[in-house]
Amino acid sequence: MARIRPHTGIRPADPLAARVISPPYDVLSETEARALCADNPFSFLHVTRPEVNLPAGTDAHSDAAYVAAREALARLQAMGALVRDPRPSVYLYGQKMPMKDGSGAVVRWHEQVGFLTCVSVEEYDRGLIRKHEHTRPDKVEDRSRLIEILGAQTGLVFLAWREDAALTALLDRLASGTPAWSVPTEDGVIHTLWVVSEPDRIRQIEEAFAQVPILYVADGHHRSQAASLCHARHPEGIEHAWFLAGVFPATRLQVLAYNRLVADLNGLDVPAFLEAVEERFAVHPDPDPVPSRRGLITMYVEGRWYGLTPHAERVPADPVGRLDVSVLQDQLLAPVLGIRDPRRDGRIEFVGGIRGWRELKHAVDERRAAVAFHLFPTGLEQLMDVADSGQVMPPKSTWFEPKLRGGVVVHALD
């Protein structure tokens, strides 16, 4: 069963929500974060990127930065930009994102709604909240220090559940009510928050979640592991036994491709490179730049697109090995281009699918890279299969859009 717990969330004052909620801390450079905060004292980036309140070049993970984060959180509450709900609540968070074609015209809208609530550290530790990535101890320690200094969890862990008709139907009914606020952000996404504080409705949510056997970490492995570490250090803390998550139905989420640029051809000229690729893939010249199906990878080199279909005998049957990102890594990036550790090799760059195939083409045409690879998006069902098998995904396998904003709800640990 999946246990959830209502909490008295700290959230934006309704009239200021558009100015408070901010992009995730890890998608911005320091320069971008400083620019967004320069004329907006209410931005939650003052908390999640506290170096913007300190001299340029300050280490974002230093004690001084963490103290600045704590001061910023207190300041936003003192200013009335953040307020604490008087009653324990469960929150619903909706996002409506315009999807555009190459000319910038909106061709459709993607909508997703999920619960913002606290989930059980114990269930995470027992594997009932399943993960698909390794975590780095230094990053876990860094996130746990921030939680302890703030006395709050400010980062959402992004969770998903396999389709459950009863829970999804309940979510849809609750989202048909009047929201606390609905605001657009600079990227055109409309963000909406509902507050559910009625005991009967909260009981319905708890009972519906109890029928869900497993939750899956879509994003936020270091934040969830940091919550586990904090709980181990504070076993007596009631709130430490829970961590803040955005929990969404997997079927409603949008995963885009996570593409690759490689700086050089590992000493090969283009004909020799293509010959090496043809030993491992069926190569089809001049396809549509965007792969139309799983199992097809497109490649751009020297002004031309190619479609790559791996030879069947080179595709393993296991949940990780058969992923397109694994096939590309194992059959081309490592043996042909010499990229054996994509986490650390400076010759490879990962490009979120939101930037489109034209960004890949431009990078190669402008000689910022020698070759580009466009992948078909990894599916949520593939991610969950990997998690169920106890294995881990290759790095940079999934790119979720839209991103969950910072400051929508904070979980205080007092």
Cβ pair 310, 281 in contact under 8 A: yes
Q: What is the pLDDT of residue 49?
A: 94
292, 301, 246: which is closest to 272 by C-alpha? Answer: 301
Helix (H, G, I), strand (E, B) or coil at 111: strand
Q: What is the pLDDT of residue 414?
A: 87
Domain ranges of the chain: 4-254+401-412, 258-376
Give the pTM.
0.92
Q: How far apart are CA 331 and CA 261, in angstroms?
A: 16
Instruction: Please tell me the CATH code under which domain 258-376 is placed.
Output: 3.30.1760
| Main-chain phi, psi angles of 309, to 5 degrees | -120, 120
Tell the residue number behind the tokens 């058969």, with chain if given.
322
Q: What is the pLDDT of residue 215?
A: 98
Tell the residue number behind the tokens 């975590």, with chain if given.
135
Cβ pair 176, 389 in contact under 8 A: no
Cβ pair 325, 396 in contact under 8 A: yes
Q: How far apart are CA 131 and CA 386, in angstroms?
A: 9
Which segments of 291-411 does DSSP mark as H helices, in order? 324-328, 356-365, 380-389
Three-state SS sequence of 391-412: CCCCCCCCEECCCCCECCCEEE
Helices (H) and strands (E) in the chain, counts: 13, 21
Cβ pair 218, 383 in contact under 8 A: yes
Q: How far apart are CA 279 and CA 246, in angstroms?
A: 44
Judging by beta carbons within 10 Å of its beta carbon (0-12, 13-18, 19+), is residue 355 exposed, middle or buried? Answer: middle
Residues belonging to the chain = 414
106-120 and 242-249 beta bridge pairing:
antiparallel
Q: How far apart are CA 4 and CA 159, in angstroms?
A: 12
Q: What is the DSSP string of 189-212?
A: -EEEEEEE--HHHHHHHHHHHTT-
Measured at the CA of 252, the angle between CA 309 and CA 114, to 5 degrees, comes to 140
Question: From the first residue on, what is the mean pLDDT of each consecutive set of 10 residues in the chain (414 residues)?
Answer: 96 97 90 94 96 91 93 97 98 95 84 98 97 92 94 96 93 97 95 98 98 96 96 95 98 95 98 97 96 97 97 93 97 97 94 93 98 97 96 92 96 94
Helix (H, G, I), strand (E, B) or coil at 113: strand
Residue 289 DSSP one-character state:
S
